[in-house]
A and B are shown apart, each in its own frame.
Chain A
Amino acid sequence: MSRQSDSRSFPVSLGSIARRPEAGSLVGLVIVYTFFAILGGAVFIGAPGWSSWLNIAAEVGIVALPVGLLMIAGELDISVGSVIPASSMTAAIVSGHYELPAVVGIVAALGVGLLVGFVNGYLVVRTRIPSLIVTIGTMFAVMGLTLGFAVLISGSTSVFLVPDPVTKTVLGAFIGGMFNVSMFWWAGFAVAIFYLLHVSPIGNWIFAVGGDRESAHNAGIPVKWLTVSLYMLSGFAAAFVGVLQLMTYQSAQVAAGQSFIFNSIMCVVIGGVLLTGGAGSVIGIVIGTMTFAIVNQGIFFSGLDPNVGSLIIGALLLGAVLSNDTFRKLALNYATKKS
């Protein structure tokens, strides 16, 4: 027993670091940043470099967090790719085309996100069709509806909105002309979702549902309620990014957002979340998002061929999955006591 208390007094032992799900991702982040810092030089290490990758990271990061929760719970959400433009378009039509106050447009846009999330969750728990298929379906449905309504109401596939100063400051300003306020929102989402997954008891339910859905149900976890709620959270976050984009770029495009589908999944997987569910961490997802954004923007600063960038991202993804597997095995075999 005395050994047990020994190990407690060294909280940062090698074992306890290796046991953390984000261990592999952190190594990846350091390697990637060093690589591009060398190639990209002073500009990349300075404010222009940081702002460019942080701006990218913030937008995809807000989506990646709830997508990561879903993946830990054993589900996927492809529909985020069309919820983003649907939300921008809704807010732009309500507040730009019809000239209602910005807050009305924002509430309507977030409502669209929650609704799509609810439909996703409902279909997944009701039919038990794999969520990949369900959310591909809702993605196309939402994309079609967005295009249809945009053309029907505004007669165009892009709608403009000039936000009032307060809205612009809160949701679409660039601090120092470089850093988009979205990164504070990303930080806010990260803290809230960290609390949900790692501090509140709900986090235990999410891991259990992803680990063994049937046992979780037998253990009394409201699996259906939880699944629907997580989909609504992801719809909400995607809609929020749609609003941020609209307030930043002051126009809504029907076709924006497809890149978020793969990018969000990539951030989550690079961040050490198990594709099949049951394991992952919010710190890991944040690290994965930063890694992804650094590669994405580092290519530009280092003057490498963009095709090389895609190659690096692909290799990174494979490397991340392999190293995460290794670290997970370490964690499983890890015991505080050797004897």
Chain B
Amino acid sequence: MSDKTPVLEMRSVDKSFGPIDVLHEISLRVHPGEVLCLLGDNGAGKSTLIKTLSGVHKPTRGEILMDGEPVVFESPRDAQGRGIATVHQFGGTYPLMSIGRNFFVGAEPTKGWGPFKVFDRKTANETAVKAVREFGITRIEDGDRLVGGLSGGERQSLAIARAVHFGARVLILDEPTAALGVKQAAHVLRIVNEAKKRGLAVIFITHQVMHAMTVGDHFAVLIRGAVAADFRKGEKTREEITDLMAGGETMADLEAQIEGYMETHEGHVPQAN
């Protein structure tokens, strides 16, 4: 598979915000029909990385290639136009807008001609409701309902359904399963597998080893903005992956620390503060 041209490739990409260097020398490739799992601790730079791939940020140095050709994404719209659909970690839905309108923000279906294009509410509602119902959210029947009345997971499902609908070549999901129930999370994993079968390239960010191991073909671990490990499925054990995701510390050490704490504090776990 790796002999094919990657759909998206980053070559020595750096990203800084003023004096803050967030990404260093990132080189990654993602091929059609392949799932790249991006792993790493909080603040490692995962969201920043996918934002440079979806046109939100421009790399400070280095280049991005699409189908082997260097590209510069001028805006999120530009990246979308090239078939890259992203579900960002936060936001993505608008509570005071209807389900149908939410689904099509920025890509509204229209009818009519010339300057008299009309937002096609019926098509928007039908498509959106169908897409979320396929996600197992069968409680939703009315595309005119406001999204603010949905649960967090239902809203997340809406955002993912939207990306799947528009993602022609690359699907980027930033912690898509974080807010989801067991059934919906399983469905997202199924969707990822389906997208992969259809030949899409998928970039999937998660903190859950199980989810990563279920769908990932290729794993990249970020530690403090640099690629600390880049390996394929089967090359590392679950324990090794877990350790890498914890930012290089071994889970066994972390567990030992917690146990040590509990012994000295009469069975209480450490308080997060």
Binding site for B on A (CB under 8 A): 1, 3-4, 7, 19, 199-201, 203-205, 207-208, 211-212, 214-222, 274, 278-279, 328, 331-337
A-B contact pairs, 30 of them (CB 8 A): A3-B141, A19-B144, A204-B97, A204-B105, A205-B106, A207-B96, A207-B97, A208-B105, A208-B106, A211-B94, A211-B96, A214-B91, A216-B94, A216-B105, A216-B106, A218-B54, A219-B107, A220-B75, A220-B77, A220-B107, A221-B77, A221-B106, A222-B77, A274-B96, A278-B95, A331-B146, A332-B146, A335-B149, A336-B145, A337-B141
Q: With A204-B105, A337-B141 given, is the CB distance from A215 to B119 under 8 Å?
A: no
Pick the contact of B145 from A199, A205, A335 — CB < 8 Å?
A: A335
Query: Which of B80, B106, B142 makes the CB contact (< 8 A) with A336?
Result: B142
- Bound CA span A274–B146, Å: 15
Residues of B within 8 A of A218 (CB): 54, 56, 76, 86, 88, 91-92
Distance from A196 Cβ to chain B, minimum over Cβ atoms (Å):
11
Q: Smallest distance from the beta carbon of B159 to chain A beta carbons, Å?
A: 9
CA distance A212 to B147 in the complex (A): 13
A interface, by DSSP: helix, strand, loop or mixed? helix
Cβ of B218 to closest chain A Cβ, rounded Å = 25
B241 to chain A: closest CB distance in Å? 29
- Select A220's contact among B80, B93, B96, B110, beta carbons within 8 Å: B80
- By a CB distance below 8 angstroms, the chain A residues around B81 are 220
Instruction: Pick the most buried of A201, A335, A336: most chain B CB atoms within 10 A of its CB.
Output: A201
A-binding residues in B (CB < 8 A):
54, 56, 75-77, 80-81, 86, 88, 91-97, 101, 104-108, 110, 117-119, 141-142, 144-146, 148-149
A15 to B23, CA, bound (A): 50
CB distance from B74 to the nearest CB of A (A): 11
Q: Chain B residues near A4: list those with CB within 8 A.
A: 141-142
Expressed in whole angstroms, the Cα–Cα distance for A4 and B93 within the complex equals 24
How far is it, in angstroms, between the C-alpha of A290 and the C-alpha of B149 when the chains are bound? 31
CA distance A324 to B91 in the complex (A): 24
The interface centre, meaning the residue of B54, B56, B75, B93 with most chain A CB atoms within 10 A of its CB, is: B75
Interface of B is mostly: loop
Nearest 9 pairs of A and B residues by beta carbon: A220-B77, A211-B94, A201-B108, A215-B91, A219-B106, A220-B106, A279-B96, A336-B142, A332-B149
Q: List 10 other contacts, CB 8 Å, given A200-B117, A208-B105, A211-B97.
A: A200-B119, A201-B108, A211-B96, A212-B94, A218-B91, A219-B76, A328-B96, A332-B95, A332-B146, A336-B142
Do the beta carbons of A335 and B94 come within 8 Å of each other? no
Determine the distance from Cα of A337 to Cα of B145 in the docked complex, in whole angstroms: 11
B171 CB to nearest chain A CB (Å): 15
- Report chain B residues within 8 Å CB of A333: 149
Chain B residues lying within 8 Å of A334, measured Cβ to Cβ, are 145-146, 149
Is B91's CB under 8 angstroms from A278's CB?
Answer: no
Shortest beta-carbon distance, B120 to chain A, in Å? 9
Q: Which residues of B contact A19 (CB under 8 A)?
A: 144, 146
In whole angstroms, what is the CA distance A274 to B94 when docked?
14
Question: In the docked arrangement, what's the CA distance between A328 and B146, Å?
Answer: 10
Residues of B within 8 A of A274 (CB): 96
CB contacts (< 8 Å) of A203 on chain B: these are 119
A206 shortest CB reach to chain B, Å: 11
**Distance in angstroms between the alpha carbons of A333 and B150 in the assembled complex:** 9
Task: Output the least CB separation between A262 and chain B (Å).
Answer: 25
Chain A proximity of B268: nearest CB distance (Å): 39
Q: What B residues does A1 contact at CB under 8 A?
A: 141
B145 touches A215 (CB 8 A): no
- Given A211-B96, A334-B149, are A204 and B142 also a contact pair (CB < 8 Å)? no
Contacting pair A199 B76 (CB below 8 A): no
Q: Please determine whether B101 and A204 come into contact, CB atoms closer than 8 angstroms.
A: yes
Please report the C-alpha to C-alpha distance between residue A203 and residue B97 in the assembled complex, in whole angstroms: 11
CB-CB under 8 A from A220, the residues of chain B are 75-77, 80-81, 106-107
Contacts of B145 in A (CB 8 A): 334-336
A307 to B20, CA, bound (A): 57
Give the CA-CA distance A3 to B91 in the complex, in Å: 32
A23 to chain B, nearest CB (A): 14
Check B117 against A201 for contact (C-beta < 8 Å).
Answer: yes
Nearest A residue to B51, CB-CB: A218
